Amino acid sequence: MASTPKTRAEFWQAKFDANVARDKRNVADLEHLGWKVHVIWECQTKRPEDLSASLNTLLRELDD
């Protein structure tokens, strides 16, 4: 999970909030075009069991 830096916290929080809003818009736009969107965060790729779980979820969603 991301954490807000202690210096310039207001700047970073605004940046994080804008990134989240942008990501939501992009996902909505892709879904509107008929795409299925599955986000895999970098932290989910560090441990093989986490990556496996994410990929298994993705594969199940693709079968639907």
pLDDT tens readout for residues 3-46:
888 899 999 999 999 999 999 999 999 999 999 898 988 888 89
Q: Distance between CA 61 and CA 7 in Å, rounded?
A: 40
Q: Do 36 and 62 contact (CB within 8 A), yes or no? A: yes
Give me the pLDDT at residue 28, please. Answer: 98
Q: What pTM did the predictor assign?
A: 0.72
Q: Do 21 and 28 contact (CB within 8 A), yes or no? A: no
* 6 SS3 class: coil
- pLDDT higher for 26 or 50? 26
